[in-house]
Each structure stands twice: as C-alpha cells, then as structure tokens.
Amino acid sequence: MELSGKSVLVTGGAGLIGTHLTESLVGANDVLVADDCSKGRREWVPEEATFVEADLTDPDDVAEVVTGDLDLVFHLAALSDVNRGDHRRVFEANNRMTYNLLERMDEVGLSKVAFASSSAVYGEAPRPTPEDFGPLEPVSTYGASKLAAEGLFTTYAHSHDFTAWLFRFSNVVGPHQRNNVISDFIEKLLDDPTELTILGDGRQEKSYLHVEDCVAGMEHVVERADDPANVYNLGTRTTVSVTRIAEIVSDVVGCDPAFEYTGGDRGWTGDVPKMALSVEKAAGLGWSAERESTEAVRTAAEQLYDELR
C-alpha cells in the first residue's frame, strides 16, 4: 500500500512513536491524530496534522474519528503503566480500545490497519526471537494485552477481509519519551548527579530501536507486505545492558555518579531481563535499522537531555 495521497488516522499520535510517524506522513498524506493526551502532548503533534482529543475506550469518540473517508489506521494508542499496579485497567482498556476500533472500522467499510504490538508478547523466549516462535507466553499484563489484541486483529484479517500489519517492537527510544529507562536516568541525574539508582542488577540486556528507525520500518513494511495478517519484528541485531545505558546517559549529562542497584535479575515484576528479536523477516523486504542499539540509546539520550534540562 503506497503511503502517498492517503487519508490516515494515527491513534496515540501525541506520543513517542505517533508524533514521529505523523511527522513522516504529513508531507504526502492527510493525517488525523486522535489521542487522550494521558501520556502524549498536544504540542508535540505536527501543525500540519488535524488533532482530535479522544478516548478510544469510548465508542462515541471512536465513531467521531473513524469514518469511511479514511484509507488506513495506525493504531498506536495504549496504556502501559503496569509497573504502577494498574494491571486490570491496562489489560481491559487496551483491548476495549482495539475492539471499539475494529468494530467501527468494519461498520464504515475501512479494512486496512497497522498495530503497534510489542516484543513483550514473546515473554522470556530464546534469542534472537523470530516471528514464528511459539507458544507465546507473555510474563506481563502489558504483554498479555498486546497478545490479546493481536488475536483480535488476526480474527478481523481472516474473517472480515481486513489487511492488518502487526509490529512487534523492541524497546523504542527517542524524543518525546517519558517514563522509560533513559528519561528516568536523566531526570535522576539532573536532580542528583552524584549517584544513580538502577533497578535490578544492571545486567538486563535488550535490543533498542530509535524511533526514527521504528517509523521507517513500519512504513517500509506497510508499503510492501500485503497478506491478510502481516506480523513483523522491528528491532536491531544488537543489545545493550542497563548498566551500559547508565554509563552512556551519565556521559551525555556530563557527570560520574556512583551506581546503586536495587538487586535481582529484573527491574520489576513482568520485566523480561534479556530480549533480542530476529529481524530477518523485515530484512527480507529490504529494511534494517540505521542505528544499532548502543547508537540508538546515545542518540535518544542526547535528544532527551536537550528536552528535559
């Protein structure tokens, strides 16, 4: 599907991935952004896009933004704050949004949708993890909510003649990001540059993907894959540890703190301490990330430091 001259809805378009995706799309498409701004910010949305504040758990709000005039939906809206204890709310809200969206799309005859899933659907899987790995056993409520949503998308793909692109991301980082390891470290060091608390033992090691590479990967796959259900990992072939991230962020901030570890092999309940995705399927379509994990982290740290200081 060529991403030019289209009418596109981006849900969650005021957040990390959504703002950068919208920025990429607006030059050649009419873009409508829907977001409740619970995590994102209205001022981050490019001026060329139309913005509607909407709660996608409300069918009336969904009906307002999903119309038959659209050609494609990028569904990025989701709750992710499971480490704050809102497990039921995260699971129910994420799948209510997805079901509301799909029902409304079917009602108005709109059948093309791309979904921001997550590597969290794999749980603690062998690395690098390919798309056909199974059984999928997520270890977090967030991962479970993404896996359940994938099931809804594949149901509509196979039973309602939809075309769905399901993207399983590694850890996406970049400007406009909050409540992740990089922004958390920067905020802590701005408050006290002499010490830095690191969740777990610092040996957690994962793949990190810069948001610009993430957006380029999504667009690349949407334009080239056309099965009813298209499942693609997007990530890098390398990993970086939490301690190394702390070192990079400290260097960017310009300080040399003492590291304090909370202990244990994971940062929180549901954390997957080791993660790396196979990206060979996307590579077969001609896509690869321009930045590997360490460069993605450093670039994001520099960009976020400029935003937060």
56-79, pLDDT tens digit by residue? Answer: 999 999 999 999 999 999 999 999
Read off the pLDDT of residues 235-254 as tens digits, 9 standing for 90 and up. 999 999 999 999 999 999 99
CA distances from 164 to 120, 127, 206 (A): 19, 26, 27
The CA R_g of the chain, rounded to the nearest whole Å, is 19
The domains of the chain, with CATH numbers, are 7-172+210-234 (3.40.50.720), 173-207+238-270+291-308 (3.90.25.10)
The confidence band for 31, taking pLDDT boundaries of 50, 70 and 90, is: very high
Q: Where residue 263 falls among pLDDT bands split at 50, 70, 90?
A: very high
Half-sphere exposure of 99 (CA within 13 A, CB side): 10
User: What is the C-alpha to C-alpha distance for residues 159 and 131, in angstroms, rounded to an integer?
Assistant: 22
pLDDT digits (tens, 9 = 90+) for 157-180: 999 999 999 999 999 999 999 889
What is the C-alpha to C-alpha distance for residues 306 and 160, in angstroms, rounded to an integer? 46
In terms of C-beta density within 10 A (0-12 exposed, 13-18 middle, 19 or more buried), how is residue 182 classed? buried
Q: What is the pTM of this model?
A: 0.95
Residue 154 has pLDDT above 80, yes or no: yes
* pLDDT number for residue 84: 59
Instruction: Name the DSSP letter for residue 41.
Output: -
Write out the DSSP string of 178-233.
-SSHHHHHHHHHHH-TTEEEESTTS--EE-EEEHHHHHHHHHHHHHH--SSEEEEE
Question: Rounded to 10 degrees, what is the CA torsion of 162, 113, 145, 11?
Answer: -150
Strand-pair partners of 266:
none
For β-strands 240-241 and 205-206, DSSP reports them as antiparallel
